[in-house]
Amino acid sequence: MTTAPDIRLGDLADERVIRLLTDHLTDMFATSPAESVHALDVSGLSVPEVTFWTIGDGDDLHGCVALKELGPDHGELKSMRTDAAARGRGLGARLLEHVLAESARRGYRRVSLETGSQEFFRPARTLYAKYGFQECGPFGDYRLDPNSVFMTLELEPEPATVSA
């Protein structure tokens, strides 16, 4: 019996994480003009407002995702990546569900993201739309860019717990 890959806080010093992020950045720069690449490297993911997770089983690392706090009620999805060898297993959806649950737990009212407009990014845009993300204008420090698609999802607040 195999176990489902687990999601855990990622170690940005782990060589497997560095390889995954290097592959991610390589794809981004191969697909989009440099000025339109907004993917974070290890130093960008190491700041206090970013939480970084990985998904894997045993010694195998299959993907990663990050959540950047833009404000007390707004988070940004960053660095969503599934290793090429692990694609098609629903791991991206699991990572997205994890970030959305964590966003709701934190009390965020909205989660936004930036992704590419090129065909390469169509599977990601399709996944985000499946979860209710809708196209929007630039947010945060982003500017209108024909190589970028901006998406956002309004979240329902978690019900308040009643203490006894």
pLDDT at 158: 64
Which candidate, 116, 121, 110, 124, places its Cα nearest to that of 150?
Answer: 116
pLDDT, mean of residues 84-93: 89
pLDDT at 163: 58
pTM of the model: 0.92
| Whether pLDDT at 86 is above 60 | yes
Tens-digit pLDDT profile for residues 42-52: 999 999 999 99
pLDDT at 27: 94
- Which amino acid does the sequence have at 40? L
